[in-house]
Structure 1
Amino acid sequence: MTIDLPPEVRAMTEDTVYRTSSQYRLWSFSPESLAALRKKTHELAVERIQQQRMNDGEDSSASDGDDVGFLTLEEELLLVQRACETIRASTDMLSWPAQVKATAVQYLRRFYLSNSPLTYPPKDIYKTCLYLANKTESLHVEVSDFAYQMGKSNPAEILAAEYKVMQALRFTLDVRQPNRGLKGIHVELQNMAEGLPNSETKDEMRMLVFPGVEARSEWRPPKTAEARHVRDRVDAAYAAARELLDAPALLTDVYFLYTPSQIAFAAMQIADPTLISWFFTSRLPLQSPTRPTILATVRACADMLADFSEGQLLSKEQRGKLEAQLEKCRDPSTRDMIKSHMAKKGGETVVNDEKAKKRKMEREAGTKEGADVFGPGLTIGNGA
């Protein structure tokens, strides 16, 4: 049985569908707009802390950022990046799926677009993001078990920041990831290596030159390239691309700047440039007007991924120094997340109690009104 779909539905592409997602609408930026948003968030946090100190009667000269030693925006980003790496290490330790890891990292990175580490230090937030991702990705680990696995942490501390994180995420919990797209590329290349949909593709792939010394793929050509060797090449490129999605893609801004499919192709571009260039040629005609733009975008994303190195991460000592400095200059009103959370929860309880009482009174009034309309209840006489 065939389903006759409307023309507008048949014409929809994966890119069209992605542009309707909350990730595209709320969490996609240009490099300039992303930098401007982070700068604004940092400046507002500094101003708020300065105002609090002045209200508390501190010397006005101490309100200057240099005097009190506020972290710079660059130092804040380094702490956030280090917290993302901590999430990666934690999920590996827990043997959690890759999609939970990617979702948790994006929750953390999105949180710090509208919140500054000066207000909420990353070491207080990353566990909450990881626990929230565990729920949204249907892993369903209980908070008590999770807290114990995370170094016997306090479950109340993890839950205290959850609503704040949800607010920062604008309650959009979906994270579109490039992993599935990469798997799709892998499957399609494997089919082409098998001669599907035609045998010409298999022969062309056997004739491709080897990846090159700069390629991340570990595959090297044998003396005679047979079909199985081509499949090995595709597998090796896929494995190298997965490693790129596991680290550079999570520790840079590519999720904010590029679509999941662009990130997947960029990872393959780094893994095996020759192979993916041939793939583009087979799928994207040379005369296509969009070809230059697509290739330039994928190349720019690949450059960002390739430029990342683990040496850019803070060392344990560097992180300790920045966190010690952060404790001295952070917002004092958010130091006790549990207390703030319970105070807010208590206020909501009072409001809810009042609403419950109001609803009860309305029900009782409605019941009484109904009795008045239909008259009193029937009674049975003694002897009649």
Structure 2
Amino acid sequence: MFNESTHKKHWLFPDLAHIDKLRKEAYDKHIETYTPLNPITYEEQSLLIRHYSKELIKFCSVYNPPVPPGTIYTALTYFNRIYLREASIQLQPRDMMFSCAYLAFKVDEYNLSIDQFLKVLPKEMQSLVGHTVISFELTVMSALNCELAVYSPYRPLHGLLTDMKVRHSEEVELLKDKSEKYLSLSILTDVIFLYPPSQIALCAIYISCEDLGIDIEQYMTECLFSDQPDGMKQAIKIVRTQDEILKQHNNKYLGDSEWKIIEEKLGKCRNPEFDPRDPNFTFRNKQI
């Protein structure tokens, strides 16, 4: 399953420096190719991507019946994978937010027609967003190398919680709520490119147990790492590293006025060939 997946083979990386290198190379490549005047900087692009990662989760949360957390994770993963290979002057984060959501809904069989997908938006936005989503569908798939299988940490999270409920006497329902809240913050960071879903899920539970005063180390030692002498030590090291990434990431979000300034700057320097708002836009599912 996961061990044989493209998710593990092609979308997990050794460290944060490697991930940043991929993003920077993608940014530089498109800046050199298009050479716009006063381009958005790499740092500004990074902040805008963080902003729209949060907006993507908000957007997915308005549907009824609710979009499953694993499907939201799929959409968020697509969105962030794109910018390991592409740049915002070509594929604007706002456009990619809607495109990745619609593709994830289809892949994970959260079945909506395009009209149902657009219905949650204000009427004045529906036509443009519909045009954008349809125009960029194959482009998004191309940017992802058609590797659309995403393994969510929500399944191992719930599996671990169920096992703890059977083996452990602690209040698991309270732990479930706190772990899911922690996970919703964690998956906004680059941990999705560094760790398999099971390790992301374990981190969410471990940190939540610490906050609630629940002793999880006995459960981990006896049930998860009973045949691995160094397993517990390695697991805690991974947990601490993930938690530090989350803390650093949470200090880098934009206020409303800040992201709007960057968005306006991007609108003036983006490649019009990829801009559905441009009157000369003729692009439709172009391969990149």
Taking structure 1 as the reference length, the TM-score comes to: 0.67
Q: How much is the aligned-residue C-alpha RMSD, in angstroms?
A: 2.1
Q: Which position in structure 1 is the counterpart of 2:263? A: 323
Residue correspondence of structure 1 range 1-384 to structure 2 within 5 A:
17-30=1-14, 31-50=16-35, 68-94=37-63, 95-152=66-123, 153-154=126-127, 155-193=130-168, 230-232=169-171, 234-246=172-184, 248-273=185-210, 274-283=214-223, 284-285=225-226, 288-309=229-250, 312-336=252-276, 339-341=282-284
Distance 2:220 2:237 in 1: 12
How many residue pairs get aligned? The number is 273
Amino acid at match of 1:266: C
- 1-side partners of 2:221 and 2:157: how far apart? 18
Provide the rounded CA distance (Å) in 1 between the counterparts of 2:38 and 2:216. 48
Kept after mapping to 2: 8 A contact 1:267/1:305: no
Any unmatched runs of 5+ in structure 1? 1-16, 54-67, 194-229, 346-384
Cα deviation 1:14-59 (Å, max 9, x = unaligned):
xxx4221110111101222211111100111110122xx6xxxxxx
Report which structure shows greater RCO (CA 8 Å, sep ≥6).
2
Q: How far apart, CA to CA, are the structure 2 residues paired with 1:295 and 1:303?
A: 12
Shift of 1:129: 0.6
In structure 2, what residue type is equivalent to 1:319?
A: W
Q: Per-residue deviation at 1:96?
A: 1.8
Check conservation: 2:105, 2:111, Cα contact below 8 A: yes
Q: 1:143 to 1:292 in 2, by over 3 A?
A: same
Unaligned runs of 5+ in 2: none
Structure 1 runs of 4+ aligned residues shifted over 6 Å read none
CA distance in 2, matches of 1:146, 1:235: 32
Which whole-Å CA distance do the structure 2 matches of 1:304 and 1:270 have between them?
13
1:167: Cα distance to partner?
0.4
3-state SS of 1:339 partner: coil
Amino acid of the residue matched to residue 28 of structure 1?
L
Structure whose CA Rg is larger? 1
Q: 1:41 to 1:149 in 2, by over 3 A?
A: same
Tell me how far 1:122 sits from its aligned partner. Answer: 0.7
Within 2, Cα distance between the matches of 1:276 and 1:305?
A: 21
